[in-house]
Amino acid sequence: MSYQGLSIFGIQLGGINTRIWPFNGLIMKGAHHLSCWKYGAALFNTVISALYVFAWIALFRAAIAMGAAPGVSAWFPPAGLTFALLLRFPRLWPMAYVGVGYIVATAPYPHSAAAIFLSWAIPPTTYVVGVHALRRSLGYARIDLANMRHLIAFSIASLLVPIAAALALIVTFCADELIPWANYWDMVLRFSLGDAIGIVTLTPVLLLTRTDWVAATSGRSLIWLVASFAAIGLALYVETVAVVLGQDQGPMSYFLMLPIAWTAMHFGNVGSAASSLIANISITVASWLAPDHRIVAGAPYFMLSVGYLGLIIGSMTSERERSVQKLRVQERALDRAYTHFTGQQTAAKLAHEIRQPLAVVSTYVEGLVGYIEKDANRTDDALMLAKRTDREVQRIGEIISAAQSKIEHAAGQRETFDFANVMQDVDPLLRQICKDHGVTVSFDVAASARVSGVKASLQQVMVNFVRNACEAMSAVPPANRRLIVESSLTDERINVTVSDNGTGLAEDLEKTGHALFASTKIGGSGFGLPISKTIIEGHGGALSILNRPEGGAVISFWLPVVKAPRS
């Protein structure tokens, strides 16, 4: 029997949660149907509990079959199962005691009744309390390993909980003379390492949801996926064969770092969790096939470092992907709003232009009707046609008036705000746009400049300016692409400039004053700046664009500052 098995500390349902990746859809559908039944919840919990016990016993037997040191397994997967159960199904915490109970009931444990009770109660109790503390520190939110704060809290708990359990549990074994006191610290270290490896290796896999798998694999070709895991498989093959052939496993083990890091960088948490699990299973199998090899003693340390390395890289990758996705959503929302605003401005101008000719037509029709009414010889059909024409003209005017009223209502509510807030809200998006175009950007916007207007419209203007400037620098070598957004403040206004070192404006456009109706980017329509000019002028400001002497263009605009009322 494995001493490491004693440190298993409560194997709860974590491993068989309702959101396990491949079976998530099926399990969740079943859970939904069960919830509609009177006893559905109880039955569901019973099924999960049964699966947990079955998985716990299977993992325990696998752990003790692959001993990496005398009587101690290299890692203890049931610890990861329990940790995941307590995180995903906290109400099923009593199941944590079932796994350890199986060990106590079937293994030659301590002789005294007190020692038997403590060896059964200490591990699961420590896990229950430790995971509860972890959940409490996160506000009882679902743990998200793509969130760096959650990852740090999880990593700390994955080390402290096994250490706390081992410190108390080994005292029981030593007091009952099952383990010599001289071996106390050595056994504490081995127990702690085994359980920590089990947690950091297995728990992340069990916490993955179907959404995580879809997000990690969507948009990637089958060849890309096969190549990723083939790289891990090749490294594992080299690792295992090296041990079986009696070669030095140490140098070969470091090859595992490369595919794990690569997979974590490309697939985030899904890649890191899956590759770390596969890697540690391979190391365990290799150690089992060559149990007397000299590198076996250091395997737990390497396995633990592999687990945390994958978690850190995967978390950073997933967090970045989520941030980029949020920025993309924000950018699309601003684009839609900008397009909508463009349509509004076009409709407003058309309404203004059409209203005058319609008025003339209406006057002509009225004259025609009067002429016909005075001449009795005119036919009734002509009179009817003229009246109908007049009614249609009036109806068109009413439609235009209604459309213009909607446009004015959709323009947004004006408010007073600090212009710096305009930049702060879209700062991540603007920086991402610059990063996508390989542009180095510098923002220097003056604070405490209060303006009156529609914040969303001004944000649309800034996004448009920055995007146009970045696209205008597409022909410039990436190392030389520079964008500067800065502002200055006076008593009456705030002045903002957006400077780039792109292609600039053609000389004839700058001289003729048509710069606002030209595009500084290849293939541009030239409509963006006139619309932005309309928005700026609608806020009481003015806009201009000029070439810079050193190359590129500079867009400048100013807005009136709202002065604070005197006390």
How many Å apart are CA 431 and CA 445, to the nearest integer? 14
Is residue 37 helix, strand or coil?
coil
| Count of C-beta atoms within a 10 Å radius of residue 125 | 19
pLDDT band at 9 (very low <50, low <70, confident <90, very high): very low
pLDDT tens across 218-268, in order? Answer: 666 667 767 776 776 676 666 555 555 555 555 556 666 777 777 777 777
The H or E element that residue 538 is part of is helix 528-538
pLDDT band at 161 (very low <50, low <70, confident <90, very high): very high
Is residue 97 helix, strand or coil?
helix
pLDDT band at 325 (very low <50, low <70, confident <90, very high): confident
pLDDT of amino acid 467: 87
- Mean pLDDT of all residues in 140-144: 85
**415-560 topology per CATH:** Heat Shock Protein 90 (3.30.565)
pLDDT band at 309 (very low <50, low <70, confident <90, very high): confident
More reliable by pLDDT, 205 or 248: 205
pLDDT band at 421 (very low <50, low <70, confident <90, very high): confident
Pick left, alpha or beta for residue 77 (phi over 0 → left; psi -120 to 50 → alpha; otherwise beta). alpha
Average pLDDT score, the chain = 73
Contact (CB, 8 A) for 41 and 35: yes
- Does the pLDDT value for residue 124 go beyond 80? yes
- Does the pLDDT value for residue 22 go beyond 50? no
Domain ranges of the chain: 1-207, 329-410, 415-560
How many Å apart are CA 68 and CA 56, to the nearest integer? 20
The H or E element that residue 349 is part of is helix 299-374
Q: Dihedrals φ, ψ of 138, to 5°?
A: -100, 10
Q: Which CATH architecture has domain 329-410?
A: Orthogonal Bundle (1.10)
- Does the pLDDT value for residue 517 go beyond 70? no
- Min mean pLDDT across 34-43, 188-197, 366-375, 426-435 is at 34-43
pLDDT of amino acid 279: 73
* C-alpha distances out from residue 529 to 465, 495, 536, Å: 8, 17, 10
- Does the pLDDT value for residue 329 go beyond 90? no
pLDDT tens across 554-564, in order? Answer: 999 999 998 76
Give the DSSP letter string of 127-169: HHHHHHHHHHHTTTPPP-TTSHHHHHHHHHHHHHHHHHHHHHH
pLDDT tens across 470-486, in order? Answer: 888 888 888 889 999 99
pLDDT of amino acid 73: 52
- Does the pLDDT value for residue 337 go beyond 70? no
- Does the pLDDT value for residue 521 go beyond 80? no
The C-alpha torsion from 242 through 244 and 250 to 253, rounded to 10°, is 60
pLDDT band at 522 (very low <50, low <70, confident <90, very high): very low
Contact (CB, 8 A) for 167 and 188: yes
- Mean pLDDT of all residues in 396-406: 63
The H or E element that residue 485 is part of is strand 482-489
- Mean pLDDT of all residues in 434-440: 89
Token pair for 333: 């929302």
- Min mean pLDDT across 42-51, 246-255, 379-388 is at 246-255
How many Å apart are CA 165 and CA 191, to the nearest integer? 9
